[in-house]
A and B are shown apart, each in its own frame.
Chain A
Amino acid sequence: MEILVCVKRVPDTAENEFELNGAGNDLDRDDLVYSVNEWDNYAVEEAIQMVDNAGGSVTVITVGDDESEEVLRREMAMGANNGVLLADDAFEGSDGRGIAAILKAEIEKGSYDLILTGAQADEGAGQVGGMVAAMLDYPYASLVNKIDVIDDKNIKVGREIEGGNQEMNEIALPCVLSIQTGINEPRYVGIRGIRKVAKVEIPVKGVSDLGLDAGSVGDAGAKTRRVDYFVPDMGDGAEMLEGSTDEIIGKLIEKLKANGGL
């Protein structure tokens, strides 16, 4: 089975303290550390396991800049066979649809049986997977937490629904799936693993390689635009407890007691 996984380089939520920048339209990115979008790791792990069982190969692609190469290498250290970096100045400022169009252009050049994406990434929109499927006219299943291969034409995919129930759906290949965390336990990638793939050639493709019109992607093609980015005002009834951890705990206990919570 030929599997392609779309991945993204994002600020790591575990290792950063997020603050807004001076202009108030984005995060302050000076001191941030980046890693692979968490959901994407699960997608890549699932692809590797499927290929281990059924044969084939795993390709990882990302839309980004030169620095995005590191996330491709990390996924290749996990066991992905190939990586493709889609980078071009013209891609900058793409909205979700723009990203999907870029991915679609590359996906069409190969012959993949299965396209995986993470269920969502840092911006929380969770839109690219569905758009890619629509553009390719492929069937799509979102929030997938289980995959069973039936044959080379069909697979069964599962999704957790309200109340902890599980549903299973049959879906025809080729298709696009967005992968939920918890579908597997992604393997560890150490520094040694990354070094082993440090010299593997990763092709970089731009607008002309993909046969795209520069005006249809990036800023020029974007039809949605971020107009604001802020920490919501504290609503009525919200109160921030301040002080050292012990003081905060003390105050919290007092409040709980005062209001009959304890």
Chain B
Amino acid sequence: MSSIIGPASYKLFGFFPTAILSFIVPVIGIGLFVYIMARRIAPLVRAAPDNRFDRIDLRIKNLLVIWLGQFRHPRYMLAGVLHIVIFAGFLILSIRSTSLVVIGLADGFVLPGFGGLLGSVYNFIKDYAATFVLVACIIAAIRRGIYKPNRYAVPEKLGKDHTAEAVFVLGIISTLMISESLFEASELAYAFQATGQTHFLAPLSLVWIFKGMLSSVSLEFLQGTHIFMYYVHDLSFFFFLCFLPMGKHFHVITSVFNVFFMRVQKGNIKPVQHGIKDEELDNLESFGVKRLEDFTWKHMLDFYSCADCGRCSDQCPANAVGRPLSPRFITIKARDLMFKNYPMSGEIYKSKLLVEDIFTEDEIWSCTTCGACEEECPLGIEYIDKIVDMRRGMVDEGMVPQSLQKPLKALEKRGNPYGKMEKKRADWANEKEFKAHHTIKDLGKDTADTLFFVDSITSYDDNIQEIARRTSIILERAGIDFGILGKDEKDSGNEVLRFGEEMLYQDLKAQNTEVILASGVKQVITADPHAYNALKNDYTGLPPVRHISQVVAEKIATGELTLKDCQDPDQVYVYHDPCYLGRHNGVYEDPRQALDAINGLTRVELEKSRDRSFCCGGGGLMLFYEPEEDTRMGVLRVNMAAEAGATVIVTACPFCLVNLQDAIKVAGKEGQIVALDFTELIEQHLI
């Protein structure tokens, strides 16, 4: 015998051709896999429509950056790097695994193009790939099995721990790596012993190590190992393929699609039903997501794609304060329901109301729509649209907590959640001191280039009205010709939409759009990020909308606004990113630039800042909601600021200001730390 016999020619016990196995295993494996996938696709076919074939350029970019580039992974460094290694290893080894299947039927098969230099280079790389994947698997298994990071924990009421599945899969992957390397090492060791032929091997790779270990064993043993390891690999490979769609490792298959189809626009909310125009909404029989099949196919694909990594819930402020919401389990519970209602065989079960079956009403109302979960998810899974869709369903069924019914009714009757009179909407401009020096144009009677959209809280809340006055002074000083809508302005409806009261939002939007367009302004400026978001991302056909921080940053840059030296240089300032300015609209730098333009101002950064900012408690209708929680989000946020060494928290959102001011009192930090609105700080420093 001069060379080892491959699985395509080997005869087990001297008579049974193993090639038969090489044929049967893939046929059964692929057949089973196709069947499993067909069952898994069944619910997606019955799902609601979703338009995900637009903006192909951005989708390809996401595919390259988020899927192939694994860009979001290093946000959790150790887990992220381990994943990148395993992911890259899988991509590289997929070629080897494909050719291995054929090698079982044709000895010495090489993929077209892999015969020459490319093949040698590939072999070199794939040997390291397998090695690194094995090392990553071992570290990952130790991490999951022994160190058990908190974010993988499963609360008792939500079922059993998921560690076993995770470690089992790491075991399968390790088996694939070891068997592939032993298959190759045994062949090379055999060739060396039989003919003295040597091959260049990647030093310290698994194959290199195994070949060294096998250098002195018998040829029979090598022959046996070669065949045995081939089928260990073959069986593990097809077992793994069919096992993937059974749990969290489905993402190995679905991630490429999920990332391609992920959200490409920020800040907006999906329409009630794709393909239905606003004016056709009245014709819909039912609204929102009530049962499993009301989700869109992409949202179902999200459920399949979750890798259970827990990053969403780790970042979720609702989860952090002990509200009954953990985005991770929104997905896991829905995925388990899909598996249960669409089983691998037998009939498909009729689904029940989701909020009675797997979710609770409080769970769905607990979300502030801050977007931290979506920003983090390495697979592009969405939450806000799903939460809003489920709220639409609950609103349609009349399931709205009493605490939210009052402000919603007030919004319907008076256009603001407080039930205050429309004619008092501009009363903030009548404050004695302010009125003596400033006159605000009413665009109902007057004209101007710019609309200052005030929105409800800034119009009516005694404490927050100050933001309206300071904003006006800044605009005046920047030489901007502006006016307000006064009694004709209605709430922007940012939260009305996000709390699922679609038709009320449509009314508010229609009324605001009409008066804004009739006013003939060329731009809209607001100091409320929630209004900014709604007007910019949810409304259509309006002139450009900007937040006051963008205007200030621009006017400082052009020299139209100049600022004094810091009035209180002993304080340490920190900027808190409002969700609807930062994460949903990408305005991170403008407010910081404006602060840094104040000479002598000491500014520190929060650890959780920019796209990882921590929601202070939510705005709009969230101020009225009475959640079950252990502590307030604002309290956690104030503590973070205190840890960062700040004495002044500057924010650029009226709701953040309310939440943070309350939280300072609750946290017992009065006198140590204050919350200040961006407009107040800037106005104090205007020259």
A-B complex is real: yes
How many chain A residues have a CB neighbour from B under 8 Å? Answer: 22
Chain A 7-45, CB within 8 Å of chain B: the 1/0 string?
000001011110000000000000101010000000000
A residues 191-238 in Cβ contact with B at 8 Å? 191-193, 195
Please judge, given known A-B contacts A14-B419, A15-B410, A35-B409, whether A188 and B400 are in contact too, CB under 8 Å. yes
Bound-state Cα–Cα, A188 to B411, Å? 14
Question: Which residues of chain A have C-beta atoms less than 8 A from B55's C-beta?
Answer: none
Question: Which residues of chain B have C-beta atoms less than 8 A from A242's C-beta?
Answer: none
Question: Which residues of chain B have C-beta atoms less than 8 A from A16's C-beta?
Answer: 419, 421
Question: Which residues of chain A have C-beta atoms less than 8 A from B501's C-beta?
Answer: 190-191
Q: Are A188 and B398 in contact (CB under 8 A)?
A: yes
Q: Are B419 and A15 in contact (CB under 8 A)?
A: yes
B439 → A minimal CB distance (Å): 22
Interface status of A187 (Cβ within 8 A of chain B): yes
B residues 400-447 in Cβ contact with A at 8 Å? 400, 402, 404-406, 408-410, 412-414, 419-421, 423
Q: Are A192 and B408 in contact (CB under 8 A)?
A: no
Interface status of B24 (Cβ within 8 A of chain A): no
Bound-state Cα–Cα, A186 to B295, Å? 27
Chain B 164-203, CB within 8 Å of chain A: the 1/0 string?
0000000000000000000000000000000000000000
Please judge, given known A-B contacts A14-B419, A15-B419, A195-B282, whether A188 and B410 are in contact too, CB under 8 Å. no
Q: Are B462 and A245 in contact (CB under 8 A)?
A: yes
B609 → A minimal CB distance (Å): 31
Q: Are B413 and A188 in contact (CB under 8 A)?
A: no
Please judge, given known A-B contacts A35-B409, A244-B462, whether A190 and B395 are in contact too, CB under 8 Å. yes
Question: Which residues of chain A have C-beta atoms less than 8 A from B348's C-beta?
Answer: none
B contacts with A: majority SS: helix
Interface status of B503 (Cβ within 8 A of chain A): yes
Interface status of A78 (Cβ within 8 A of chain B): yes
Q: Are A188 and B408 in contact (CB under 8 A)?
A: yes
Bound-state Cα–Cα, A191 to B398, Å? 11
B405, B419, B504: the one within 8 Å of A191 (CB): B504
Interface status of B588 (Cβ within 8 A of chain A): no
Bound-state Cα–Cα, A243 to B503, Å? 39
Please judge, given known A-B contacts A14-B409, A15-B410, A188-B408, whether A78 and B419 are in contact too, CB under 8 Å. no
B residues 76-125 in Cβ contact with A at 8 Å? none
Q: Are B462 and A191 in contact (CB under 8 A)?
A: no
Bound-state Cα–Cα, A191 to B395, Å? 10
Q: Are A12 and B396 in contact (CB under 8 A)?
A: no
B281, B413, B420, B507: the one within 8 Å of A35 (CB): B413
B396, B400, B462: the one within 8 Å of A192 (CB): B396
Please judge, given known A-B contacts A187-B398, A187-B399, A192-B503, whether A31 and B421 are in contact too, CB under 8 Å. yes
Bound-state Cα–Cα, A17 to B412, Å? 17
Bound-state Cα–Cα, A21 to B400, Å? 36
Q: Are A191 and B421 in contact (CB under 8 A)?
A: no
Please judge, given known A-B contacts A188-B395, A190-B396, A244-B462, whether A33 and B413 are in contact too, CB under 8 Å. yes
Interface status of A189 (Cβ within 8 A of chain B): yes
Q: Are A15 and B409 in contact (CB under 8 A)?
A: yes
Bound-state Cα–Cα, A15 to B406, Å? 9
Instruction: Name A residues whose Cβ lies closer than 8 Å to a Cβ of B.
Output: 12, 14-17, 31, 33, 35, 78-79, 185-193, 195, 244-245
20 additional A-B pairs beyond A15-B409, A17-B421, A187-B398, beta carbons within 8 Å, are: A12-B413, A15-B410, A17-B420, A31-B421, A33-B414, A78-B398, A187-B400, A188-B398, A188-B399, A188-B408, A189-B398, A190-B395, A190-B396, A190-B501, A191-B412, A191-B501, A192-B281, A192-B287, A192-B503, A195-B282
Pairs across A and B, CB under 8 Å, 10 listed: A12-B409, A15-B409, A16-B421, A186-B405, A187-B400, A188-B399, A188-B405, A191-B412, A191-B503, A195-B282
When A and B form their complex, which 3 residue pairs have the shortest distance between CB atoms, in order from nearest? A187-B398, A15-B419, A188-B400
